[in-house]
Chains A and B, each alone.
Chain A
Amino acid sequence: MKTSNAILLAVGLILILFSCSTTRKIDRIRRGDVRAELNLGQDTSFLPEIRNRKVTRDTLKIKDDDGTEVLIMKAIRMEETGEMVANEVLDAAMVTARFRNMAERHGKVDLVFQVVVPASMQDSKWQLRFYPDMYILEDSIRLEPVIITGSAYRKAQLKGYQQYERFLSKIVQDTLRFVDINQLEIFLRRNIPQIYAFKTDSSEVSDEQFESIYGVSEQEAVEHYTNKFARYRNNRRKARQESMYRKYVKDPIVTEGIRLDTVMTGGDGSFIYNYVQTINTRPRLRKVDIVLSGEIYEIGKKIYDVPRSEPLTFYISSLATLADNKERYIFKIVERQAEANTMSYVEFRTGKSDVDVDFGNNRKELGRVRNNIAGLLDNKEFDLDSIIVTASASPEGKVASNNALSHRRSESISRYLNTFIREHEDSVIHEQGIMYDENGRRVTAHRPHISFISRSIGENWDLLDRMVDADSLLTEGEKSLYALHAELTDPDERERAMQADRTYPYLRQVLYPRLRAVRFDFFLHRKDMVKDTVHTTVLDSTYMWGLKALANMDYHTAVKALGSYKDYNTAVALLALDRNLSALEILQGLENTPEVNYLLALVYSRLGDDTKAVEHYVRSCRQNRSFVYRGNLDPEISVLIKTYGLNQEDDNEEL
């Protein structure tokens, strides 16, 4: 074979080898030899105040329930000697569990996980995009992606931007550039020299047309000396900006809406990114799944879809589950009797006592009273017992005749209303129709017996005194004159004296009619109630509403609703809002149930008092074993467990 042929063959083989390298990489990824995954990192509690606590591995001395003192320290039982020996436990290097318990605080949970991308998946010509998907209840949300860009890929992206920049730089923004200023100026100086006379003149000159001797204006000269082709070309470029951007920058560099975009240069190790996502919790949220999927891009085109990784599960616990959801009742006292009243101004003809519906304003007034009574009769809760009708009269005329007249008038109204009530009841019965009870017997409607009591006051001087006193139209002098007349004991004499006053017409026309009033007092009782008072228990709706808000993690509403009760649930709500001292005050007054002890442990842990915290936690566990497991869910307790190795004792005991 000729040497030239051999060289060609060799070169060809080498080229083929190099071009295959990326496809080989893809094949390896496809086969699954190389994959990106999600991991839970080392567990440090997400609550910063707990993370920053100084870990002092002191021994603690706590008092047990029955008063005995106990020492707590991390210890194991030596097999050979059987005695307890203090020891330290090294933290594990990497947690390989696929689930973790997270506690919700203040309505939020921090989900912390790691995205691990091995070195063999990275390539300088590639861009890797990873999308963590979050599955909450029925929703799935795509979280912000993590992007790893190879340096060659980034260079190609930037090259597109550079080309676009170069194009942009060719666009001239200053339109004067197209005008041959030199020639234009010479031309103007030569042919339209008047313009230059105005150059330094700052007076207000309207847009005068300066012209040369042959009628050529300045604008025409400017237009002539403009390079029209260049201007046209520039405008074309400006119009094409958008399409040129799309042409040059095929793969724009995204800066918004992504969590991270990093350029890997050397990249001889795996890439690990600690992803923290804070989410707002909602009711019924117990578990969140996170799954990683991704894509590999080369030169702006997708070449591979990374299949979904195994899910990572976060179990969410909340303080609200510690609430006591028993129903609460409150006492209510229900009275049998009730009262109502109304006033009406029924008008009578002078000296007459019969009720004339068409006289004066009677139709309206009586209609109103009838409506009131009908309303009370039809009331479902109450029954009408009796009605007291009180009539009063105005002072003109003789006292004796006035008294008798008002008495007659009150009787007349009572009769009128009695008739009305009877008619009303009859019509109700008529509407209801015929009713049969369960035995087939005809039921006669019960017609209530309403007693009418009529009273009369006669001349209502008291009311008149009060009205004059309160009247805003009478002067002080007139009022004192009236008071002077009031010293006369005989009402008739008094009236005669008042007739001489200047204000008498006003009294007669405006105030007297108000004295001719009839007052109705209605006495009612609750239907079907026999005893005078009844004590019942009713569901305390405020309290239940507060509990519901607590379960929904609406802590502010819960505290508002439960605040006044100052009991265990109030403490739970206050703790959810981090109002530790208020909660402590309440809890210290409560009986030491295991729940109360657990909450006290939580509060003391938050306040930094480890001794008391451990004391209460141990007591609560001793009273109720389930709190051993609950302790792992709350970071305030779990940090204590870890620091002092609390639950190991129980574990060892079980063994």
Chain B
Amino acid sequence: MRRIRCYLIVCLLLFVGKNAFAQRIAISTNALDYLSLGTINVEGGLSVAQHWSLWAGARINPWTWNLKDVETRNQQRTVWMGARWWPWYVYSGWWVGIKTEYLNYSNTGIWRPALQEGSGVGLGINAGYTRMLSPHWNVEFSLGALGGYLFKYGLYSSPARHYTRSEEPHAFLYPDNPSIAILYVF
């Protein structure tokens, strides 16, 4: 929690102390995430030049589901920030971005009854396309990959942690955050 707060403060600092009217602020939320067991997410952006914008966002999933009498959860608390490069103009068209991310997750029952928990930091890249729907609303599609290091990891046989399979911190790399998002530009 301390770390999350740390990152959020850093993000907020970015929004302050600059000429507010020369930039455009955008806020978005990813619809697909809601499908993965109700992950709430929000993302904010700030354009700094014709081709550059800064991003920061958070994802949280506190729910526990009981699907077919199996305890299922995809809990996570993730926070990230990064930058995007737009070849044409911010908030319209194609883009590529990089981000740094702190993640903290605990999921079970999605594919197997084992419990998997971990927290780590990572570096991700993603790319996508933003289509303008109106002067303020956009829809965005993107894909990315995340790679980093889990400094705390646990894999248990079941949510009750009867049997510990592994508790090694290790590096990771996987595709991350497919998104169909709705973006609002102020």
Interface of A with B (CB < 8 Å)?
183, 186-187, 189-191, 193, 212-216, 224
Contacts and interface: CB of A to CB of B under 8 A. Distances in A.
Nearest to B133: A186
A69 B50 CA distance: 119
A224 B89 CA distance: 10
A186 B92 CA distance: 10
A213 to B, nearest CB: 6
B132 A190 contact: yes
Contact of B50 (A186, A189, A190, A214): A214
A216 B47 CA distance: 14
A187 B50 contact: no
B4 interface: no
B1 interface: no
Give the one of B91, B135, B136 with max A CB within 10 A: B135
Contacts of B134: 186
A224 B94 CA distance: 13
Nearest to B51: A214
A213 B90 CA distance: 11
11 contacts: A183-B92, A186-B133, A187-B89, A189-B135, A190-B91, A190-B135, A191-B89, A193-B135, A214-B49, A216-B50, A216-B89
A225 to B, nearest CB: 9
A465 B49 CA distance: 114
Give the one of A183, A189, A193, A213 with max B CB within 10 A: A213
Contacts of A212: 50, 89
B132 A186 contact: yes
Contacts of B49: 214
A196 to B, nearest CB: 10
A224 B93 CA distance: 11
A261 B133 CA distance: 60
A183 B22 contact: no
A214 to B, nearest CB: 4
Nearest to B137: A186
Nearest to A221: B89
A376 B22 CA distance: 113
B185 interface: yes
B88 A186 contact: no
Contacts of B92: 183, 187, 190
A193 B134 CA distance: 13
Interface in B73-92: 88-92
B176 to A, nearest CB: 29
A130 to B, nearest CB: 67
A471 to B, nearest CB: 101
A224 B132 contact: no
Contacts of A214: 49-50, 89-90
A187 B132 CA distance: 8
A190 B88 CA distance: 14
Interface residues of B, number: 15
A224 B50 CA distance: 14
A209 to B, nearest CB: 15
Contacts of A186: 132-135
A215 B50 contact: yes
A191 B50 CA distance: 11
Give the one of A190, A212, A215 with max B CB within 10 A: A190
A190 B50 CA distance: 13
Contacts of A224: 88-89
Interface in B140-155: none
A293 B55 CA distance: 87
Nearest to A184: B132
A183 B50 contact: no
A224 B133 CA distance: 17
Interface in B101-145: 131-136
Contact of B185 (A190, A215, A216): A190
Contacts of A190: 91-92, 132, 135-136, 185
Contacts of B89: 187, 191, 212, 214, 216, 224
Nearest to A224: B88
A340 B89 CA distance: 109
A195 B44 CA distance: 28
A183 B89 CA distance: 13
B47 to A, nearest CB: 8
A183 B130 CA distance: 11
Contacts of A193: 135
B23 to A, nearest CB: 8
A222 to B, nearest CB: 13
Contacts of B91: 190
Contacts of B131: 183
Contacts of B132: 183, 186-187, 190
B136 to A, nearest CB: 7
B22 A213 contact: yes
Interface in B150-185: 185
Contacts of B90: 214
B77 to A, nearest CB: 34
B182 to A, nearest CB: 15
Contacts of A213: 22
Q: List 8 A-B pairs, minimum CB-CB distance, nearest first.
A: A214-B50, A189-B135, A190-B135, A186-B132, A213-B22, A224-B88, A187-B92, A186-B135
A190 B24 CA distance: 10
Nearest to A189: B135
B109 to A, nearest CB: 44
A190 B138 CA distance: 11
B121 to A, nearest CB: 33
Interface string B43-55: 0000001100000
A187 B138 CA distance: 11
A200 B131 CA distance: 28
Given A214-B50, A216-B89, 17 more contacts: A183-B131, A183-B132, A186-B132, A186-B135, A187-B89, A187-B132, A189-B135, A190-B91, A190-B92, A190-B136, A190-B185, A191-B89, A212-B89, A214-B89, A214-B90, A215-B50, A224-B89
Contacts of A189: 135
A530 B31 CA distance: 139
Nearest to A214: B50
Contacts of B133: 186
Contacts of A183: 92, 131-132
B185 to A, nearest CB: 7
Nearest to A215: B50
A224 B90 CA distance: 14
Contacts of B50: 212, 214-216
Contacts of A187: 89, 92, 132
A551 B91 CA distance: 95
Contacts of A215: 50
A190 B184 CA distance: 12
A193 B24 CA distance: 14
A186 B89 CA distance: 13
A619 B88 CA distance: 108
Nearest to A188: B135
B46 to A, nearest CB: 13
A195 to B, nearest CB: 12
A27 to B, nearest CB: 71
A560 to B, nearest CB: 87
A180 B54 CA distance: 28
A183 B131 CA distance: 8
A198 B13 CA distance: 38
A392 B133 CA distance: 120
